[in-house]
Amino acid sequence: MLPIWGRTDRNGLAGQASLPAARPLSRLLGVRTAWTTVGDGEFFCPGCGGDRNYRRRTGRRRFVLLGIPLVPRGATGPVVECAACEDRFAADVLDHPTTHRFSAMLRDAVHTVVLAVLSAGGVSSRTALETAVATLRGAGFDDCTDVQLAALVEALLTDAGRVSEHCGPGAGLAIELHEALDPLAPHLAPAGRESILLQGARIALADGPYTPAERDVLSTAGAALTMCTDEVSQLLEAARTPS
């Protein structure tokens, strides 16, 4: 068999001609997925570590031979693909709130706990009301005033009175607490859950020891935050000791 020869080098010696580079085997043989976008939106990307746009995609797999798709291999997905880093994740990544949504949920949770504690203890105490206003302003409600807060609590007590005729005392407050805290709790670290409960406890203690109604509200809030009874009791006792 004759060798393949090309041009000679500057010394007059013949050299073997270079052959075309071989194409990667993975491009010629294997299974490929053709993706189709079926939706989009905004999510918290675990890869980027921030809020990003995403594409929700489904795919169809085919066996490829010599770069030509031949045999169908079934569907795959859906997946969530980040528009920035292009990483793909399981669809349950959308269960995690965006940073913006998480901040709003956290603010609503603090607001609800504050109102529930004031409703349980009344708004007759100036100290408790001032503590509540400071707590809400620290949570982002910059325009909160004692007059507005007192009026809101009075309205809430009126509504709770209507509900209690059918559901029993405190049922309306318990419903409000669970609606605000249940969706948030899975995304909070233990310190975050404790912080929300401690803010309510400090308002309750601003005008003296816990009343039974205040303890009930704080216990309900702790349960909604997925804290066990012992954790709640220890935290409420710790709040009684000045730091």
pLDDT tens, 123-150? Answer: 678 899 999 999 999 999 999 999 999 9
| Cα(161)–Cα(175) distance, integer angstroms | 14
pLDDT of residue 35: 80
CB atoms within 10 A of CB 211: 14
- Could you tell me where the DSSP H helices lie in 66-189? 99-121, 126-138, 146-167, 171-181
Residue 186 has pLDDT above 60, yes or no: yes
Residue 5 has pLDDT above 90, yes or no: no
Pair 222, 231: CB distance under 8 Å: yes
Average pLDDT value for the chain: 82
Residue 7 has pLDDT above 60, yes or no: no
Residue at 199: amino acid letter: Q
Q: pLDDT by residue (tens digit) across 65-86?
A: 666 666 666 777 799 999 999 9
pTM attached to this predicted model: 0.75
* Of residues 52 and 35, more confidently modeled: 52
**Residue of 191, 202, 203, 200 lying closest to 227 (CA atoms):** 191
How would residue 243 be classed by pLDDT, with cut points 50, 70 and 90? low
**Residue of 222, 226, 212, 231 lying closest to 170 (CA atoms):** 212
pLDDT of residue 201: 96
Q: pLDDT by residue (tens digit) across 193-221?
A: 999 999 999 999 998 999 999 999 999 99
Residue 177 has pLDDT above 80, yes or no: yes
